[in-house]
Amino acid sequence: MACAIVPLDEQQVTEPSVVGKDRTLPALHPDRKEERCFVPYKPPPEDGSPAQVEEFLEHAKFITEDLEWLLALPHDKFWCQVVFDETLQKCLDSYLRHASRGLDPAGLPCSPAVAEAQRHIHRAVFMTFLRMATHKESKENFLTPSVFGEIIYENFLFDIPKILDLCVLFGKGNTQLLHKMIENIFTQQPGYYSDLDEAVPSVLQVFDTILDKCGLQCEGAAMEPMKLSANGRPTAMTMSQQDLLDLVLYLCDSTTTIHAFLDIYPPACSTFQSHNFLSRLVSFYESAVPDIEKAVRKRNFTDKSLKEDLWKRMCHSCKRMVEVAHLLLQHSCLQPILEGGDNIQTFAEELLQHFTSFLPEKRFLSDYDEQFPIADDISLLQQALPLIDETRTSYLLQGVQSAWDSVGRRRPRGHTQTHGRPAAQGGAAGGRASPLGLRESGEGWETPRGAEASQYTPHKGNNYGSRSFITEAALPPCVPRAPKEELPPVLSERSNVFDDDEFDVFHRDKVDMSRIWKGRRKGESAQEVLGDKQHIDAQRDRYRAYENVVDEVMVEPGAVYTLDGDYDDEYDDTYDVNQVGANDLDGDSLLSRSERIFFFPLTKNQNPNHAPRDQFCQDPALLRERAEARRAAFHQKKGFRPEPAGSVVGKPKGQGQTQETLQDRRKKEASKGRGANHNRRNMADRKRNKGMIPS
């Protein structure tokens, strides 16, 4: 009968004790740990003296041999050593802390022997962490997933800083392995999500620290009152040269680490977005990057190579920050849109809102559009959502062009037509040109590829020109695609009002190119255009036929005359033969109507011998006098007596007023709101009561 296979955390082993009796212990027990001292890692010497190089090689040999011994242990012994040996954890932590990221100033090997030793340590450390992140090695050797998550969490075998360092150190060439490692760690121990959520504010604090060192303040950060001593703080232009170097190195290392982690483990993007990371990143970019770049360009450095190195690191940092922003947008908005679903409209709206929030940040927007053209993303969005608001997308594209214009840079040719860009173009793809004529080319800037690569071996490649973009082939089935069926020929089916005209290139082999131009015709001014009377000369002969008007034409006997011009088909000859009204009872035919005399009717009291005076416009004074007379007659007839005219002016102030003046003033105040434009206050109150005017 085969024995049941149990996980390592439930296994019991029997070992001989000191007194000679066998004892039963759990498979994971401190007494089962081998006594071995793992030495901490130290970086190679900078000066490269023979004695220091020999010391490093001997030290590196100890670390490599110890780690290879550890990897050769069986499953149970390996985990006993990992969990209970503190010197092993110190050795691994020291390598994560001191190993070169590939962008450090002392990043070149001092000798081939040092590079080879470094390569062996790098591989051994990576394989150790890879085995530590695996809870099941085979059917017989495995840990219970929940127990595995508890072991790595409670013993601090992995934490968020270690995971970030693993990504930036071993990410090149090991993306898939690292993704599986981190995914298994977060899956088996969800507590790491809480740790990541608590770590994001610390990452944001990096931006605030850099801004504070530069004497700036981020818009998205908590607004605190400025201290009185803030005016005396150093800026990027006034700080010491060493402080500026440390600041740029700090920015470069931080942005590279964040990008490596999000690129390898995209599910973490949602945690970063929950802290408004994208908005803070964009604000930091817009505030800090121009200030630091200005300091690097304009400051005088004792070493010219140092200035070139700082400019390279700034270009690298800018590229990584833009890529981080794209990763956040891709995994929080673009990817859900491509996958389809019920909430595709929500993700599209979120993406458009992010693009709209980029518009005020001119420098960031132009740099982002240079690496990841926004026009391509909007085109993809229009394929997924054909009913998207074109006015809004046009406004965004105009804002992108305005950002390019405001920063004084020219957009690369063919930028919106192609997904990639040639490596020879300027900008982030081909490198941002420096005042020293330097270009960021990627040479010597890539971190090692693969576990066997050396941390100090420079690599050449298109690390600064590569970009993966989502094409139409990646669209899900729910997104409509253009039909692949063969379309009928366009020219044969085409019908247009301009067919066969002088510019129809589809039916004419030759076109008069002198009659075609773009914009205002060259060599012509507004005065020349207005003075051109050729069209009048062309019509002169046509209208000349109307110059001679003949009232009577003498017809000679026997001659045949025809009217000028062709037959007029529009002439109505209905009544030419029929004598309309000829048989009317009044006996007055239309044919003899021309013989009747026409009389003008006379108006009442009009003397035919004297024409009336034209009274179309009478004297206004006379009209007012007549109106006043009619009004007085009407008042007299009705018995109306007008009130005497009052005086509200009164005497000068301080001399007192008569009773009549006071009474007249009261009457004026009481009656001035009855009509005309004097009741504005009452009408305003009425509108306000009805809610027409905000209170």
Please check the confidence at residue 109 and state whether its pLDDT lies above 60: no
Query: What mean pLDDT, rounded, does the chain reach?
Result: 78
Which of the pair, 118 or 601, is modelled with greater confidence? 118
**Exposure of 324 in the CB half-sphere (CA atoms within 13 A):** 26
Which of the pair, 63 or 635, is modelled with greater confidence? 63
Enumerate helices (H) and strands (E) in the chain, giving the number of each. Answer: 23, 2
CA atoms of 407 and 55, how far apart (whole Å): 53
List, in sequence order, the alpha helices (H) in 274-373.
277-298, 304-329, 335-339, 344-358, 362-371
Q: List, for residues 629-643, the tens digit of each pLDDT value.
A: 998 898 888 887 776
Q: List, for residues 653-682, the tens digit of each pLDDT value.
A: 888 888 888 888 888 877 766 666 667 777
What is the four-CA torsion angle of 201, 403, 374, 359, rounded to 10 degrees? 50
| Host H or E run for residue 538 | helix 534-544
**Exposure of 470 in the CB half-sphere (CA atoms within 13 A):** 25
- Nearest Cα neighbor of 168 from 97, 85, 230 is 97
Range of weakest confidence among 140-149, 516-525, 681-690: 516-525
- Nearest Cα neighbor of 404 from 382, 374, 381, 438 is 374
Please check the confidence at residue 424 and state whether its pLDDT lies above 50: no
Beta bridge partners, 14, equal 24
Q: List, for residues 295-309, the tens digit of each pLDDT value.
A: 999 998 888 889 999
Please check the confidence at residue 201 and state whether its pLDDT lies above 70: yes
**CB contact at 8 A, 43 and 98:** yes
DSSP state of 571: -
CA atoms of 665 and 661, how far apart (whole Å): 6
**Exposure of 376 in the CB half-sphere (CA atoms within 13 A):** 21
Structure-token pair, residue 543: 């209208």
- Nearest Cα neighbor of 277 from 252, 258, 250 is 258
Degrees (nearest 5) of the Cα angle 539, 540, 545?
Answer: 105
CA atoms of 168 and 148, how far apart (whole Å): 25
| Host H or E run for residue 253 | helix 241-264
Which pLDDT does position 231 carry in this prediction? 56
Please check the confidence at residue 417 and state whether its pLDDT lies above 50: no
Which pLDDT does position 579 carry in this prediction? 54
CA atoms of 175 and 169, how far apart (whole Å): 11
Query: Which residues in 642-679 are b (16+ Cβ under 10 Å) and which e?
Result: eeeeeeeeeeeeeeebeeebeebbeeeeeeeeeeeeee
Please check the confidence at residue 555 and state whether its pLDDT lies above 80: no
**284: amino acid identity, one letter:** F
- Nearest Cα neighbor of 374 from 394, 345, 390, 388 is 394
CB atoms within 10 A of CB 11: 14
Sequence-distant (6+) residues with CB within 8 A of 206 are 250, 254
Q: List, for residues 444-486, the tens digit of each pLDDT value.
A: 333 333 333 333 333 333 333 332 323 333 333 443 444 445 5
Structure-token pair, residue 546: 């109307």
Phi (first) and psi of residue 23, to 5 degrees: -135, 150
CA atoms of 655 and 174, how far apart (whole Å): 102
Structure-token pair, residue 600: 């003008």
Confidence band, pLDDT 50/70/90 cuts, at residue 585: low
- Burial of 179 from C-beta contacts in 10 A (0-12 / 13-18 / 19+): middle
Which pLDDT does position 479 carry in this prediction? 39
Task: Concatenate the DSSP letters of all residues of 130-193 into one string.
Answer: HHHT-SBSSSSSB--HHHHHHHHHHTTSS-HHHHHHHHHHH-TT-HHHHHHHHHHHHHH-THHH
Which pLDDT does position 538 carry in this prediction? 78
Task: Concatenate the DSSP letters of all residues of 390-453 into one string.
Answer: HHHHHHHHHHHHHHHHHTT-PPPTTTTT-SS--TTSSBTTTBPPPTTS-----TTTSPPPSTTS
Which pLDDT does position 597 carry in this prediction? 52
Q: List, for residues 431-441, the tens digit of each pLDDT value.
A: 344 333 333 43
Which pLDDT does position 523 carry in this prediction? 66
CA atoms of 342 and 478, how far apart (whole Å): 11
Please check the confidence at residue 325 and state whether its pLDDT lies above 70: yes
Which of the pair, 507 or 494, is modelled with greater confidence? 507
Which pLDDT does position 260 carry in this prediction? 95
Report CA-CA distances (Å) from 178 to 129, 166, 183, 287: 10, 8, 8, 34
Share of the chain above pLDDT 90, in %: 41
Which pLDDT does position 65 carry in this prediction? 96
Which of the pair, 340 or 184, is modelled with greater confidence? 184
- Burial of 531 from C-beta contacts in 10 A (0-12 / 13-18 / 19+): exposed
Which of the pair, 507 or 329, is modelled with greater confidence? 329
The model's pTM: 0.61
Confidence band, pLDDT 50/70/90 cuts, at residue 499: confident
Which pLDDT does position 561 carry in this prediction? 58
